[in-house]
Structure 1
């Protein structure tokens, strides 16, 4: 099973995705970690983003083939990025689930103003991606992130995955 956790920088998607992967016993594959490993920190040109997403998909494919469930974490703000991941999983006959994480703008601003271990994206990157975000047409679960509702959102996600299965 492939679970795509997506959303804007500062939405809480990475924090949520890591905890969801842990609770499900799945492998976490995050765009920020891969960007760091690839030496592309702070490099947000489209060709760099595509390289990171290609590596995420390659890594996830290898894990799925080995029998692992995978939680992919990234903005997935462009339709073709989502299509690449979905196509890879469906070609291999794996189920795909999408979880969109959103948060209030004021909370996103607070989160992005603090140093974070998982990303160097700032408010400028947030607004750039927000302006380019392709509408989500695939079936998905929408989660509203606050600083107090992680457990509730994890339960919603697990219920969504069970219900769809």
Structure 2
């Protein structure tokens, strides 16, 4: 099983995705962590982004070959990037979209985070380029106090076998 956790910067997707991976004993693959691992100096160019997503796909395929569930954590704001994963994995894939109010996102992005370098300007840029997700998905609204509810809803969604089949 693969769970793609996607959303805008500051939505709470990374916090949620890492906790979800722990709950389902899955490998957690984060685009922000990979970017820092792969590039000492990050430019966020199209080529750099492509390299990060290619590495995410490679690591996902390795985990799948070892019968390990995977939770992917990235914005996935472009349809072609989502399709790259959905078409190449050959395994049931679930999509969970994390959303939050813009005011909460603005507050979250003021704080320094260990892996993400996105600020409110990056959020606005990605929001303006966001391509709506067409595939079936669970949409969760993040606040600063509801992660347990979000996790429970996600676990129920995953157990209902409603993912995208290969």
TM over 0.5: yes
> Which residue in 1 is equivalent to 2:144?
147
Matches within 5 A, 1:26-45: 26-39=26-39, 42-45=42-45
> Which residue in 2 is equivalent to 1:75?
75
Give every structure 1 segment of 4 or more consecutive aligned residues whose post-TM-superposition deviation is greater than 6 Å.
Answer: none
> Which residue in 1 is equivalent to 2:62?
62
Secondary structure of residue in 2 paired with 1:139: coil
Aligned partner of 1:103 among 100, 104, 110: 100
The alignment status of 1:84 with 2:81, answered yes or no, reads no
1:42–1:121: 8 Å Cα contact kept in structure 2? no
Whole-angstrom distance in 2 between the partners of 1:51 and 1:31: 10
Q: How far does residue 124 in structure 1 lie from its aligned partner after superposition?
A: 1.1
Q: Please, what TM-score do these two structures have when normalized by structure 2?
A: 0.94
Q: Please, what TM-score do these two structures have when normalized by structure 1?
A: 0.95
Root mean square deviation of aligned Cα: 1.1
The alignment status of 1:132 with 2:138, answered yes or no, reads no
Q: How far does residue 31 in structure 1 lie from its aligned partner after superposition?
A: 0.1
Structure 2 segments unaligned to the other structure (5+ residues):
none
Q: How far does residue 118 in structure 1 lie from its aligned partner after superposition?
A: 2.6
Q: 1:19 to 1:79 in 2, by over 3 A?
A: same
Whole-angstrom distance in 1 between the partners of 2:74 and 2:40: 15
- More displaced, 98-107 or 115-124? 115-124
Structure 1 segments unaligned to the other structure (5+ residues):
none
Q: How far does residue 10 in structure 1 lie from its aligned partner after superposition?
A: 0.2
Q: How many residues align?
A: 162
Q: How far does residue 40 in structure 1 lie from its aligned partner after superposition?
A: 5.8
Q: Deviations over 1:37-71 (max 9, x none)?
A: 01165422222111111110111111111110000
Q: How far does residue 136 in structure 1 lie from its aligned partner after superposition?
A: 0.6
